[in-house]
């Protein structure tokens, strides 16, 4: 039984992680850390949580010395380092899966997007950086045709406001979002750099947030060096994802609703310009699931040699 500690457990992704971990018979939620909800039952937030488990306000040293086999960090960007340092000092064999962007650019960590990075790389890994939600959708769109691309890819994304976390900001303020679509970080978004780095190809990314709670659609505008037929374009995705249990392919254009509350992603809506040099593909997924918690549990399971999809697909 893998003992898993969760830090940042009352957040949007933390809540989903509690649910998935509670559905597994080979992992147990050993502790759930939150300062704001310390002393309250985890069940109050996530009904699936183990009976009697209470939120605890645990600092880095507490987390490192609780005897967990694995720790999942679901903290805002910039907060992981003290936890990582304490674990490295006290219990370096502990598997760490970090959901933030803090280690996505660090070569000492495995960047865990199992369908693309390869499951073998994750086996036995102890430092795993979980990809961003938009970055997952963008890479799923681009990876199968990466070798055909010419020039920067242009990606347009829309996310529900849970993508902005629980710390109040304009991006999760329902009054500001009502009847609105909010573009933000239109150059240099973290996920733009993340995708460019891990794909080895230049990406320009335009993120937006809207008034629905969860889900992402990402539309990728791609240019090719040589003309490509629609059949050849689509066949790249069939070859890449045909055997992937969490990736569904769709001729119709994936919409937000297609990706909400499903564990995986829907990729499709392939379309190609008359000259064969410009194409579009769309991905829809749930930012809190394949964009965060599902991927983290896939990564942890693969690192530990456990069933990748238990608690994720029933």
Q: What tokens appear for 75 in the block?
A: 């903290």
d(CA 214, CA 220): 20
- The answer to whether 166 contacts ligand NAP (rule: CB under 6 A) is yes
Q: Is residue 283 flagged as an active site residue?
A: no
Considering beta carbons, is residue 104 or 143 the nearer one to ligand NAP? 104
Q: How far apart are CB 60 and ligand NAP at their closest, in Å?
A: 9
Q: In this chain, which of 291, 303, 304, 311 binds ligand NAP, going by CB under 6 A? A: 291
Write out 143-196 in H/E/C secondary structure.
Answer: HHHHHHECCCEEEEEEECHHHHCCCCCHHHCHHHHCCCEEECCCCCCHHHHHHH
- The answer to whether 74 contacts ligand NAP (rule: CB under 6 A) is yes
Q: Kindly state the number of chain residues that form the binding site for ligand NAP, as judged by CB under 6 A.
A: 29
- The answer to whether 162 contacts ligand NAP (rule: CB under 6 A) is yes
- The answer to whether 165 contacts ligand NAP (rule: CB under 6 A) is yes
Considering beta carbons, is residue 13 or 298 the nearer one to ligand NAP? 13
Question: Which window, 71-79, 121-129, 223-231, 300-308, contacts ligand NAP (CB under 6 A)?
Answer: 71-79
Considering beta carbons, is residue 13 or 217 the nearer one to ligand NAP? 13
Query: Residue 300 gets which letter from DSSP?
Result: H
Q: How many CA atoms lie within 13 A of 96 on its CB side?
A: 27
Q: What tokens appear for 301 in the block?
A: 């399971």
**Beta carbons of 158 and 148 less than 8 angstroms apart:** no
- The answer to whether 287 contacts ligand NAP (rule: CB under 6 A) is yes
d(CA 93, CA 247): 32
Q: Out of 117, 133, 141, 283, pick the active-site residue.
A: 133
Considering beta carbons, is residue 130 or 304 the nearer one to ligand NAP? 130
Query: Residue 231 gets which letter from DSSP?
Result: H
Closest residue by Cα to residue 74 from 138, 31, 27, 10: 10
- The catalytic residues are 133
Binding site for ligand NAP (CB under 6 A): 8-14, 34-37, 74-77, 79, 99-100, 132-133, 162-163, 165-167, 287-288, 291-292
């Amino acid at each position: 039984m893998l003992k898993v500690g969760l830090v940042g457990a009352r957040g949007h992704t933390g809540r989903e992680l509690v649910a998935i971990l509670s559905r597994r018979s080979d992992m147990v939620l050993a502790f759930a850390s939150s300062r704001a909800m310390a002393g309250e039952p985890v069940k109050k937030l996530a009904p699936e949580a183990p009976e009697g488990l209470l939120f605890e306000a645990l600092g880095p040293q507490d987390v490192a010395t609780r005897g967990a086999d694995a720790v999942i960090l679901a903290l805002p960007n910039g907060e992981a380092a003290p936890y990582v340092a304490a674990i490295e000092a006290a219990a370096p064999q502990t598997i760490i899966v970090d959901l933030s962007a803090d280690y996505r650019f660090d070569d000492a960590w495995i960047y865990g997007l199992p369908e693309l990075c390869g499951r073998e790389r994750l086996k036995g890994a102890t430092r795993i950086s979980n990809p961003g939600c938009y970055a997952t959708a963008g890479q799923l769109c681009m990876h199968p045709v990466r070798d055909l691309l010419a020039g920067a890819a242009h990606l347009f994304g829309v996310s529900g406001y849970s993508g902005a976390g629980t710390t109040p900001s304009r991006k999760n303020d329902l009054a500001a979002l009502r009847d609105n679509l909010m573009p933000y970080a239109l150059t240099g978004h973290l996920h733009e750099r993340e995708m460019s780095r891990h794909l080895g190809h230049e990406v320009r990314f335009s993120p937006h947030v809207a008034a629905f709670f969860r889900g992402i659609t990402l539309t990728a505008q791609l240019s090719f060096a040589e003309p490509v037929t629609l059949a050849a374009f689509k066949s790249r995705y069939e070859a890449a994802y045909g055997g992937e249990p969490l990736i569904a392919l769709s001729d119709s254009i994936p919409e937000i609703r297609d990706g909400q509350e499903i564990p995986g992603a829907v990729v499709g809506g392939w379309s190609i310009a008359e000259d064969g040099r410009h194409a579009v593909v769309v991905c829809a997924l749930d930012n809190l699931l394949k964009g965060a918690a599902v991927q983290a549990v896939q990564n942890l399971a693969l690192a530990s040699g456990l069933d990748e999809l238990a608690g994720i697909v029933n």
